[in-house]
Amino acid sequence: MTVVTTERLILRDWTADPADLARIYDIYSRPEITRWLGASPGLPMTDPAQAVERLELWRDRHAADAGRYGTWAVQVRETGLVAGTALLKPLPGRDAARRTEDIEAGWHLHPDSWGHGYATEAARALMAREFAAGTSEIYAVVSPGNEPSQAVCRRLGMTHVGRRTDWYGGEELETFVLAAPGGQLSPGQPGR
């Protein structure tokens, strides 16, 4: 299912199609990608069969979200190449099993798709969609040292609010936030 389209991209559900599974494995078996994803179990992948498990994890995680939140494939319209993943979801709290009301935008692109602005374009479209649904602010959390992702946050117009430990089991992450158009950032702490 297509979630959103942009001038150059189609954001759609990842599928069990062999080409999608191969691309999931190709992305998430790479240390240059997975080193920025914290203590995610099963990463980096070491067996192509793990792509099926990852797809099932994403589907289970978002089963109750009725398409509003998800982990989606970012496909380049012109070539059909899947550049990577974009996500929009409630952030997990310090107790990683509990979802907060804070919404996260994120991206993981294959190195062959770096430097084309795809992460910015995909995230901008997902964030616009979420703001239209009534969300007042959206976060991006980035591992310290991941300068390319921090640059994407800046290109999106997000404000850096420092290192925070509100989410992902208390992991210290560089935190960026963007208020809805016409809105103001809340003065309160995230993790409501």
Q: Which residue has the tokens 């989410």?
A: 167
User: Is the Cβ–Cβ distance between 78 and 113 less than 8 Å?
Assistant: no
Q: Model pTM greater than 0.75?
A: yes
Compute φ and ψ for 21, nearest 5 degrees.
-60, -40
CB atoms within 10 A of CB 19: 10
**Dist CA 146 CA 3 (whole Å):** 27
**Dist CA 105 CA 112 (whole Å):** 21
The amino acid occupying position 148 is P
Closest CA to 140 of 164, 106, 168: 106
pLDDT tens digits, one per residue of 144-158: 999 999 999 999 999
Closest CA to 173 of 155, 192, 191: 191
CATH of domain 2-179: 3.40.630.30
End-to-end CA distance of the chain: 32
Q: Residue 149: which H helix or E strand, with range?
A: helix 147-155
Q: Which residue has the tokens 């479209």?
A: 125
Closest CA to 90 of 168, 10, 2: 168
Q: How do the pLDDT tens digits run along the chain, 192 residues long?
A: 999 999 999 999 999 999 999 999 999 999 999 999 987 888 999 999 999 999 999 999 999 998 999 999 999 999 999 999 999 999 999 887 789 999 999 999 999 999 999 999 999 999 999 999 999 999 999 999 999 999 999 999 999 999 999 999 999 999 999 999 987 766 554 443
Contacting residues for 180 by C-beta, under 8 A, at least 6 apart: 131, 135, 136, 137
